[in-house]
Structure 1
Amino acid sequence: MAIAPDKAIAETLPTPAKHQEFDWQNCWYPIAFTQDLPQDLPYRFSLYNEPLVLFRNQEGKLGCLTDRCSHRAARLSDGQIIDGRIECLYHGWQFGIDGQCLHIPQLPQDAKMPANACVKSLPVVERQGIIWMWAGQEQPIEELIPTIPELDKPGVFCTDYIRDLPYDQTYFIENVIDPAHVYISHDGVVGKRENAQPLDLEVLDSSLSGIRGRWRSTRQPHQPWSLLNFIAPNLVLYQSDNSNTGKFGGVVLYSLPLSKDRCRVFVRNYGNFFPWQMKLMPRWFDHIMIRNIILEGDLQIVVEQKRQIERLGKSLKEIYLPLKTSDTLVVEYRKWLDKFGQGLPFYQGYSSEKDFHSNELQENSLTLDRLSQHTQICSSCNQAYRVTNFSKQILIGLAIALAALAILTDNSWVKPVAVAGGLLAVVLAFAAQKLKTKFERAYTRH
């Protein structure tokens, strides 16, 4: 049975209300997985284009500061950590985790520290292996951190993945709140094209705090519903629970709005049913063989989608042709932005937007740059990449040395050993190069 595009979907969802704004500042934002924070280096990031820097002092306490030296506006993240202080690389001004200026080399010993030499600091805490930042002026409320209670249950295993995406947060949330695309965009990875079908999608609640929804296959109408929630401003949560077997799990998708053209995503798969092979798999191997391919399966599609929408210059309501059986939650999210997003620095709702269009269009080579978007900000992959590259160089040098030995020696048993060793080194160097490209080049279908 053919299903016609149902424009009535937009009429069944809440209409924008005036004078309701989500307070995007007085809430928590994920900055990094704890394991990905460098030990003795500044960690650079941004929130809605505001540059920020994170670091630890000698006692291991975290500090988050505006990434701008109070002296002459150089980036603090270009500096270094000395004795638990972040030092500006321009003139050596040093700041503590509270933003206080603690040392100015050019200041006379008997002179007082300038009153306005400090930089703004923001509260940060660690919860469930993630570092969180409070962006507002009000007293931070740690109970508002969107943690997942199931992660604290015994027997639960999780995998963590971080990625920078070349489009803004709203396109990421629209993408992951849409289960219908998985069968096509991720065919052969986590979905199968032949399983594409109409879905049962329901909005259970939509309010200032987010959206509660659920979905299931229409081919198996008696299967349990899967919960799919958006918790404002930065969490999409898939959850499933089989009460008959006691197995449960889910996918946690946090996001950090870096700018109009970039967001950082933190993906956590969890459950109490992971096989032992998955638990023993090195994190970097899981990333290059599974997680990167999943994220890259539709990365270029979303980039081009955003380009087309910006070129058209129309509202999404005018452009989209939604189906109830695939797009209900997508339209609901965009309408949530219509209703509550006016206070955001920028946004694109279903029928409204605010300062949304970007000033640049990235080339395809930049949108699929796995090295900078993932490897360099993931501690596990970065270390594995360095080891692989170093091993390759050593093997190449060894192959050259053994080849020279084979040429120069007259010893009847040394020559064949040198030749065999040289060939083995070449093969291993080639394998190291192939592995190295896994950390650099993105997956593409064509």
Structure 2
Amino acid sequence: MILETKKIETTPKNSTFETLESQSEFDWRKCWYPVCFLQDFPINRPYRFSLYEEPFVLFKNTDGQIICLTDRCAHRAARLSDGQIIDGRIECLYHGWQYGQDGKCLHIPQLSKEAKIPVSACVSSFKVIERQGIIWIWAGEAEAAVDELIPTVPDWDKPECFNLDYMRDLPYDQSYFIENVIDPAHIPISHEGIFSDRTEAQPLEIEVLESSHQGIRGRYRKTKKPNQPWQLLDFVAPNLVLYRLGNGEENRFLGTALYSIPLGRNRCRILVRNYSNFFDLKTKLMPPWLDHLITRNKVLEGDLQIVVEQKAQIERLGKKLKELYLPLKTSDTLVVAYRRWLDKYGSSLPFYQGFSTAQNIANSEDNKHLKTLDRFSQHTLICNSCNQAYRLTKRLQQSCIGVAIAFAAIAILTDTSGIKIAAVSTSITLIILAVMAQRLKTQFEDSYTRHE
């Protein structure tokens, strides 16, 4: 045993834990799930995602309200997300059936005007809420939704708060992502040279303050120097790991909220939010795509391949984690606490990997065709800022090449030396710009590896 769990009687100020007395056990259907940041949600087309392999689609109606339906046409099971939005309805691309906000089919082109639309021509609808710049869906019946259960960050609503957001799809289960980010001990080694240094690797004092169906409240502090401040680290079931970092000044706050949604077996989406009231002006003025290229992508990719291979090893050996792991009290306390939380409360989850139990775990052999390090599909395509910058860079490169060829042709055809020199110079400059654009474009496509 490496854990010493302490039960506390009250929930601290600014806790992300919910306090409804009526909820006494964990049910994954009675939870809110983060789908994407509001700035990454497309305005004029459907948005596809999944939850535990169940397909969903989001779209906006004529009032600007975000609607969530099952992504499956009632006619012949085509994906609604492949269709288009017409007058606030989502239209199936296959035969043109249109659905409204409650999931009822409102138009079937193949029926006469006098014919009634079958009552069974409908799909399930789900409650959607936008909160703190994130789109959330309730996985169960809309009537049972409890808005207060959305795991918000109290400091985010303060007017002086500034945040940096980043979204990515990962090729492994949500539980492996949570295990990874609930582990502060790996940061100096795994992220050396990005935002940490291995000289900071040290024994940590880690405590589990509370563990219940709502999650785990914990804290940790460094021990190299005496009397270091405690850093709060919570897991709010089932989707949030929250770091709140103290700096000794009450009027300052700094934190990282790491949200996730289980898209399916060996797939999860993460929504990372760094927030603070003392970011410098340079950070605030930096466009999101540049921040993602310089820092966020590299941070996530520093762990990605490691976790993929870790999961493959565990599945190959076919043993329980308690037989494979050699946990230390000075680094792994919260990791083990989380895996044991899954042992105790994970029975309702479609699949999970606990410390001594597991349920419906897919084998990594099934996903060998996936490219694990794929920055373009995992991030660039789903990030509005990076996608726009990528498209602009691609157009710039193509334009430079086209115009460079035109000026080269002018230089060949003209007999005037002044025009020839100017045309050649312009053509060379445009080629250089095209090469620079190509290098920038590859930054949106190629992933970072430690051994480059």
What range is the shorter-chain TM-score in? over 0.9
- Which residue of the other structure, out of 98, 104, 107, is the alignment partner of 1:94? 98
Q: Which residue of 1 aligns with 2:44?
A: 40
- Which residue of the other structure, out of 403, 414, 417, is the alignment partner of 1:412? 417
RMSD after superposition: 1.4
* Partner SS, residue 89 of structure 1: coil
Partners of 2:5 and 2:211 within 8 A in 1:
no
Matched, 1:179 2:179: no
Tell me, in whole angstroms, the C-alpha distance in 1 between the residues paired with 2:369 and 2:51.
24
- More off after superposition, 198-207 vs 236-245: 236-245
Partners of 2:215 and 2:237 within 8 A in 1:
yes
Matched, 1:81 2:85: yes
- Which residue of the other structure, out of 378, 394, 402, is the alignment partner of 1:397? 402
- Which residue of the other structure, out of 256, 264, 269, is the alignment partner of 1:264? 269
What TM-score results when the alignment is normalised by the length of structure 2? Answer: 0.94
Q: Which residue of 1 aligns with 2:15?
A: none
Partners of 1:21 and 1:341 within 8 A in 2:
no
* Partner SS, residue 366 of structure 1: coil
* Partner SS, residue 179 of structure 2: helix
5+ residue gaps, structure 2, are 7-23
TM-superposed deviation, 1:65: 0.5
Q: How many residues align?
A: 433
Partners of 1:27 and 1:136 within 8 A in 2:
yes
Q: Percent identity?
A: 64
5+ residue gaps, structure 1, are 1-7, 15-19
TM-superposed deviation, 1:221: 3.1
* Partner SS, residue 250 of structure 1: strand
Tell me, in whole angstroms, the C-alpha distance in 1 between the residues paired with 2:249 and 2:361.
47
Partners of 1:55 and 1:97 within 8 A in 2:
no
Q: Which residue of 2 aligns with 1:9?
A: 2
Deviations 1:318-347 (A, max 9, x none): 010000011000000000000110111111
What TM-score results when the alignment is normalised by the length of structure 1? Answer: 0.95
* Partner SS, residue 69 of structure 2: strand
The 1:358/1:52 distance shift into structure 2, 3 A limit, reads: farther
Matches within 5 A, 1:327-406: 327-358=332-363, 360-363=365-368, 366-406=371-411
Amino acid across the alignment from 2:79: R
* Partner SS, residue 97 of structure 1: coil
Deviations 1:14-38 (A, max 9, x none): 9xxxxx8511101100011011011
The 1:241/1:359 distance shift into structure 2, 3 A limit, reads: closer
Runs of 4+ in 1 over 6 A off after TM superposition: none
Q: Which residue of 2 aligns with 1:3?
A: none
Tell me, in whole angstroms, the C-alpha distance in 1 between the residues paired with 2:197 and 2:381.
31
Tell me, in whole angstroms, the C-alpha distance in 1 between the residues paired with 2:383 and 2:372.
18
Partners of 1:21 and 1:342 within 8 A in 2:
no
Amino acid across the alignment from 1:383: Q
- Which residue of the other structure, out of 116, 130, 145, is the alignment partner of 2:150? 145
TM-superposed deviation, 1:357: 2.5
Deviations 1:151-172 (A, max 9, x none): 1112110011000000010000
- Which residue of the other structure, out of 437, 443, 446, is the alignment partner of 1:441? 446
Deviations 1:62-96 (A, max 9, x none): 11000000000000011111111111000000011
* Partner SS, residue 242 of structure 1: coil
Matched, 1:240 2:233: no
Deviations 1:371-397 (A, max 9, x none): 000000001110110000000000000
Matched, 1:217 2:210: no
TM-superposed deviation, 1:136: 1.1
* Partner SS, residue 247 of structure 1: coil
Tell me, in whole angstroms, the C-alpha distance in 1 between the residues paired with 2:369 and 2:108.
44
Matched, 1:108 2:112: yes
Partners of 1:87 and 1:95 within 8 A in 2:
yes
Partners of 1:174 and 1:330 within 8 A in 2:
yes
